[in-house]
Structure 1
Amino acid sequence: MSKIQEKLPNTIWILAAGLLCVGAGQTIVFITIPPIARDLGLNEIQIGSIFATSAIAWMLLSPVWGSLSDSIGRKKIVIVGLLGFAISLMLFSFTISLGQKGLLTGTLLFILMVSARVLNGIFGSATRPSSGGWVADISSIDSRSRAFARLDSGFSMGRILGPALAGLLLLVSYTAPFFFFAAGAFVVIIFVTFQQSPPRISSSETRKKISMFDPKVWPFLVISAAFGICNASIFQTSSFFFQDVITPLSEDYIALASIGFMLSGLGVLNGQLLVADRLQTSPGSLIKLGVILNCLSLIGYAFSSSLVQVYICLFFFGLGNGMLGPGISSSLSLSVGKDHQGSAGGFLGMVIPVGHIASPIVSMPLYMINPTIPYLLGAFLMFLCTIFIFSNKRHQWIRDKQYREDRNLEVFENSQ
């Protein structure tokens, strides 16, 4: 007998549309900026600094915005995040345009590009934790993983649609894709404005601030950080892997790798909207299955020798990612309780960029030694995560669905 699905509020899809714009905008920046910046006279270190400063700002500010959404309301912070994202994207595009016209050059151009990306990190980091808190506020504990799957599918769809639409918009101008998704963010802001914001927790009701080292929090951040490292590692090195190992005689390795990324994105959407949402898989099962699937697909990827093999592995790696994302988000949401939903989302936003910072330092040098090492190391990391989730009490608490019997989420605190 199939499960009866609880109807989720349409607000979730509106928030997902906001993350779609953010995901598309971020992906376009990663794809288009390196060659454009090089043409404008910036070197590789400067280009890397543009991305690194934004990631650091994102890491530092994400918990702050999440905590603020707990205290002053979700809607305000969501709007601040989308508005900051849109403005920073337009400023970045405007700076590039001035550089291409020769009105900005050298150090001043570099400083303004970094400043625009820092603004993105400062304000853009507000969108995900506040949206996650909002979703948790309006979904029941039994539908939490479905709700987060729908929310996260917005960002995933943005990562797929962004490059596809950018290819068409770049025919208009280099700056057209940036303005297009900035305009999309403004449209979403209008829809968000008309949504009823969840009731704000008054100061008298607010509990003490929760720490990322709290036993209700850190077990899920560990999995998220490991997941982020594996994800960044495979995507930052895959173009090289196609060129060096899979299709060494082809000049179209970038196009072939792009097909692999699209298949991975398709796997992510299947994990989110089919396995997590449609099949109503529990949060604990999503984490367990996602970690195991990622481990196996990374092993298969490391030993792939043909396009068919590598494409299959990338699809299943994406499928595992699509299960892990909502599994971690919903598990942490259920773990921390209703008073700390924004803070929980902020902590996740802080650890997710860890992979993009660690991968160039760790994965790239290892790839130079042997192309398979980064993927085997990622598989080993996922294997350790598998052992961890089966031995950690809080993960066991989630898998046993004790949140159903303990709606106030106090039992675990008293057991420490």
Structure 2
Amino acid sequence: MGRVRVSIFFSVFVAMVGLMIIAPVMPPLIRELGLSETHSGLIISLGSVAMAVMAPVWGRWSDTKGRKPVILIGFLGMFVSYVLFTLTMYAGLANLIGGSLLVTLLIVARGMVGMFIPAVPSSAQAYMADVTDEKGRASGMALIGAANGMGLVMGPAIAGVFALIGLIWPLYIGALLPLIAFAVVLLLIPPHKPIVTEKAPKLNPFQKGLRLYLFAGLATMMSIVTLQVVGGFYFQDQLSLTTTETARMLSFGMMLSGIAMIFTQGVQMKNPKWQPRSLILVGSLLVIAGTSLFLFVIHAVGFYIAFFLFGVGTGLMMPGFMAGASLAVSREQQGGVAGLVGAVQGVSAVIAPILSTSLYQLEKHLPFGVVSVVVLVMAITMLVTKAKSAPATTVLATKHSE
């Protein structure tokens, strides 16, 4: 694996860890500050809105300013945002500030984290598109997916380890990692000329050939977020578990799913034979199989098998929709399409928690049932829709891939 690919992998991994490292410590920190669950939801949701809004902007800027500068700006922004977020948390815990000022500063800081994080994966995905041809695009995007999956697993794990020292310690790590990643990108990624010298060409997310892959991305990410949000409630209610048993089962299950996702994408990187549609369709079947087990098999072992199938399925779908979206547009639009993929992930993080918890209050089986239907509709649509030939793309000089 060349130094560029290693740098891209590490960059996306750090960005995902930066996103996920907050999640495990937010509830206890919010309660330590004397705030409510509503405040926590507001802080996290507005951060996700910022991600959805800024991802396309960063993607377009990477087309006109260059991939490397945008990645570096993203890491600097992450560092500043985390420092502000950590200082605000510290001041609140020390009773130096409180009330509306505390909530406002936390929202602003979390919003800044959400603004700068998508600069990294959007630019990294576009860079990967620059240095791969059509046959290797899915394999390249599997590298991005594996970095996402590893960050998804390691972010909460890192938070759990450092939280043993103190609840605020994971935030210190969240501020340190972007500086390390900044140095790695600065030293290892070679200078990279902007793809376009003027205004980036407009990209319509609903254009033919692209919209289906963005729909696949929405279905994939909504499935993942739904499992994260309502899984604990569902398993506790179905198996009559204590809160401790629920936490243990959910942690192990999500880790199993993450490992399955990383393994699947690792295999795909080494065997780039399947193309985007095949990856998405096979992945869809496995996700539906996993959600069906969640719905119809009321047993811990069955749930663990479901977690594994779900991880393999999403591990196939993620590089599938990223590669498909990339191949559906021209070389000059790679940054823009990478930004749209990031926006889809942000939108999923906003919609899925609200939708899944509302459905769960109506009937506990509904969230997984709706996920299955959405994935099924997407897969059927992809089956009956003829593949549109992608615009001609030009791959950069091979020296960039080393």
TM-score normalised according to structure 1 size: 0.90
Paired amino acid for 1:201: I
Q: Which deviations, in whole Å up to 9, do the C-alpha atoms of 1:344-376 show, x marking residues without a partner?
A: 110011111222222233221221232212111
Change (3 A) 1:264 1:247: farther
Corresponding residue number in structure 1 for 2:192: 198
Q: Number of paired residues? A: 392
Superposed, which structure 2 residues align to 1:261-340 within 5 Å?
A: 261-274=254-267, 276-280=268-272, 281-340=274-333
Offset at residue 166 of structure 1 (A): 2.0
Residues of 1 paired with 2:170 and 2:296: CA distance?
37
Offset at residue 250 of structure 1 (A): 7.0
Paired amino acid for 1:277: M
Give the percent of matched residue pairs that are identical in Structure 1 and Structure 2. 27
Superposed, which structure 2 residues align to 1:88-107 within 5 Å?
A: 88-107=81-100
Whether contact under 8 Å (1:74, 1:131) holds in the other structure is: yes
Secondary structure (helix, strand or coil) at the match of 1:190 reads: helix
TM-score normalised according to structure 2 size: 0.93
Residues of 2 paired with 1:27 and 1:135: CA distance?
23
Superposed, which structure 2 residues align to 1:3-402 within 5 Å?
A: 9-194=2-187, 195-203=189-197, 208-248=201-241, 251-274=244-267, 276-280=268-272, 281-393=274-386, 396-397=387-388, 402=389
Residues of 1 paired with 2:200 and 2:91: CA distance?
49
Residues of 1 paired with 2:295 and 2:57: CA distance?
39
Residues of 1 paired with 2:204 and 2:260: CA distance?
33
Whether contact under 8 Å (2:121, 2:342) holds in the other structure is: yes
Residues of 1 paired with 2:32 and 2:170: CA distance?
18
Offset at residue 105 of structure 1 (A): 1.0
Residues of 2 paired with 1:137 and 1:43: CA distance?
46
Offset at residue 247 of structure 1 (A): 4.1
Whether contact under 8 Å (1:134, 1:198) holds in the other structure is: no
When the two chains are superposed, the root-mean-square deviation of aligned CA atoms in Å is: 1.8
Secondary structure (helix, strand or coil) at the match of 1:296 reads: helix
Offset at residue 38 of structure 1 (A): 1.9
Change (3 A) 1:98 1:285: same
Change (3 A) 1:153 1:105: same
Gaps of 5+ in 1: 1-7, 410-416
Whether contact under 8 Å (1:9, 1:138) holds in the other structure is: no
Whether contact under 8 Å (1:303, 1:372) holds in the other structure is: no
Change (3 A) 1:338 1:106: same
Whether contact under 8 Å (1:287, 1:323) holds in the other structure is: yes
Secondary structure (helix, strand or coil) at the match of 1:29 reads: coil
Change (3 A) 1:226 1:207: same
